């Protein structure tokens, strides 16, 4: 499980996360709701090993994620799909996907299997596999970004605002795939501003405001809170 305990992050004198406590149990989809600037990306960057915390801890099945080595986190089962997708626009869809398999460099057969799995989750990408990623629609680029994270065959997938800028129908498609991945055994932590859509697929959620968790509960508890 993911255990975040009393996690604090500072940018200079500014405290972006104040003692955050959060868990994701095996098999769960957990949503982290919060407005722009709440600290969601800071938490995700910290869980991905891109940002060192000022205090507290974050572990996946007991393994610390805060050592500051993103490759370590990925090879221990935690992969991130960052906000804004961050694809290489001139490289083909397939090359972008292969970049996500970098932790399995010595396992070409596993890489091919992972590619087939991504194409089965996102059939729309099959026809586009040799096209530059930058030529795809926003929704398809998001699929490539999620697919690239899945190429590492993670146990925990961190998704930072995957619905950003996408049409509602495309958001629904992407969220359906997240449910499918989850049923295949991947735990998911999903950061979203779009509370309604995200709570529809989540088992539990947290609300973050100004770097602190201010509410937590099940889908029903969060939806009925006023």
Residues of this chain that interact with ligand ADP (CB under 6 A) are 11, 14, 16, 34, 36-42, 92, 94-95, 98, 108, 111-112, 130
**Minimum distance between the CB of residue 99 and ligand ADP, rounded to whole angstroms?**
9
**Minimum distance between the CB of residue 110 and ligand ADP, rounded to whole angstroms?**
9
**Minimum distance between the CB of residue 89 and ligand ADP, rounded to whole angstroms?**
13
**Minimum distance between the CB of residue 62 and ligand ADP, rounded to whole angstroms?**
26
Three-state secondary structure along the chain?
A: CEEEEEEEEEECCEEEEEEEEEEECCCCEEEEECCCCCCHHHHHHHHCCCCCCCEEEEEECCEECCCCCHHHHHHCCEEEECCCCCCCCCCEHHHHHHHCCHHHCCCHHHHHHHHHHHHHHCHHHHHHCCCEHHHCCHHHHHHHHHHHHHCCCCCEEEEECCCCCCCHHHHHHHHHHHHHHHHCCCEEEEEECCHHHHHHHCCEEEEEECCEEEEEEEHHHHHCCC
Q: Give the residue with the Cβ less far from ligand ADP, 5 or 10.
A: 10
Q: Give the residue with the Cβ less far from ligand ADP, 14 or 196.
A: 14
Q: Give the residue with the Cβ less far from ligand ADP, 25 or 135.
A: 135
Q: Give the residue with the Cβ less far from ligand ADP, 109 or 169.
A: 109
């Amino acid at each position: 499980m993911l255990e975040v305990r009393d996690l604090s992050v500072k940018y200079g004198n500014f405290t972006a996360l104040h003692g955050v406590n959060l868990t994701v149990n095996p098999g769960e989809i957990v949503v982290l709701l919060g407005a722009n600037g709440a600290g969601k990306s800071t938490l995700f960057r910290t869980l991905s090993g891109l940002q060192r915390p000022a205090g507290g801890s974050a572990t996946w099945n007991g393994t610390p994620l805060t050592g500051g080595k993103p490759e370590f986190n990925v090879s221990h089962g935690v992969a991130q799909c960052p906000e804004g997708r961050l694809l290489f626009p001139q490289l083909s869809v397939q090359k972008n996907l292969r970049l996500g398999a970098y932790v399995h460099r010595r396992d070409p057969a596993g890489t091919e299997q992972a590619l087939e799995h991504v194409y089965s989750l996102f059939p729309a990408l099959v026809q586009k596999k040799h096209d530059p990623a930058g030529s795809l629609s926003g929704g398809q680029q998001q699929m490539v970004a999620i697919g690239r994270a899945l190429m590492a065959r993670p146990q925990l997938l961190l998704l930072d605002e995957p619905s950003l800028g996408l049409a509602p129908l495309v958001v629904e498609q992407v969220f359906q795939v997240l449910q499918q991945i989850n049923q295949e055994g991947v735990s998911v932590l999903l950061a979203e501003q779009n509370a309604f859509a995200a709570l529809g697929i989540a088992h539990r959620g947290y609300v973050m405001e100004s770097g602190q968790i201010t509410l937590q509960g099940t889908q029903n508890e969060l939806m009925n809170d006023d």
